[in-house]
Amino acid sequence: MTPSLASSFMPLLRLIDPETAHTLALRALRAGLAGRADAPALPVEAMGLAFRNPLGLAAGFDKNAVAVRPLFALGFGFVEVGTITPRPQAGNPRPRLFRLAEDGAVINRMGMNNEGWDAVSARLAAMRAEGPLPGPLGVNVGINKDCDDPVRDTGLLVEGAARVGDYVTVNVSSPNTPGLRDLQAADRLASLLEASRQGLARAGRTVPVVVKIAPDLDHDALGPIIETALAAGVSGLIVSNTTIARPATLRSRHRGEAGGLSGAPLLAPATAMLRAAARIASGRLTLIGAGGVASGADAYAKIRAGASLVQLYSAMAYAGPALPARILAELAALLARDGFRRVEEAVGLDRERGDG
């Protein structure tokens, strides 16, 4: 089945509960029903890694790493799994995932549900033993809701993730784990990142560490976070996670649900924060733009704002498996239109715009 044929089933999936639809989509991917896509080659070098293109799948879609190879087959240049916690976590009560179709958005309060480190890492190790992947694999890790020692657990998670991933993302920005966003404060973040450094040393593997931040940060806090990350040897920053804000423009009956908002309404604020981060980092960190990406134009806006790499997730719920290849074709056309031969030539061209 080709991605375009698989996409024809999307209207049917949208008739059922969003979380059930997501589970069915993952099963279809595992069964090979989404097929393969031909995407243009847009190679990028970032964080010491080679990417066949700059478009990645954000964490949250494949929390338990059950469909990594089929997801690469859709055209993604990299895939990030997780968030994975030390112990299995059921997450919040259902319903906890809501489509805001009128707004091209999603609200989730999943609560970082996942099978836990032992189960997911064993799956990743077995997958790695089958042979190389088409691109870098990111492993997104975070603490359990009832964690009593975030520093200890983060160090252990990074140690394990470094053995099975090509880069590790430390998630300190999910709005659905009480207290997690407090770990973004520079002093607390410094302790986590020192534990991450020690975890890498124990693993004996030097892989890039990335920090994922919230779009709701006060911009005055952005500088200290970036300087703390740089001092700790962090390679990159994902800007951004979901938002707790609720724009007045939302029309869906689900707009008042608690949780993190993603999709189209997040594009502008997340890109503004990305642009601000690019000005502060000034090329010292690899920036990964996430939030609201649903087209080649959206991806191009992130790149021009300062992102070397771009991630999506929510738009897949509406556009289906044909989306990655379509975005990459649109992005290639935009780069060619503006006379760029490589993605890197466009990175950060708009970072001095004053809306961030």
Residues recognised as catalytic: 174
Residue pair 206/161 in contact (Cβ under 8 Å)? The answer is no
**Sheet of strand 97-100: strand arrangement:** 97-100, 105-108, 260-263
Burial class (CB in 10 A: 0-12, 13-18, 19+), 336: exposed
Burial of 268 (0-12, 13-18, 19+ CB in 10 A): middle
Cα separation of 192 and 345, whole Å? 34
Q: What letters, b where the CB count within 10 A reaches 16 and e where it falls short, cover 269-291? A: bbbbbbbbbbbbbeeebbbbbbb
| Per-residue b or e along 208-242, where b marks 16 or more CB atoms closer than 10 Å to that residue's CB | bbbbbbbbbbeeeebebbbebbeebebbbbbbbbb
Asked if 55 and 328 count as a contact pair (C-beta separation under 8 A), the reply is yes
Rg for the chain (alpha carbons), in Å?
A: 19
Sign of CA dihedral 148, 180, 302, 220: negative
- The span from the CA of 186 to the CA of 194, in Å, is 12
What does the alpha-carbon distance between residue 130 and residue 113 come to, in Å, rounded to a whole number?
Answer: 27
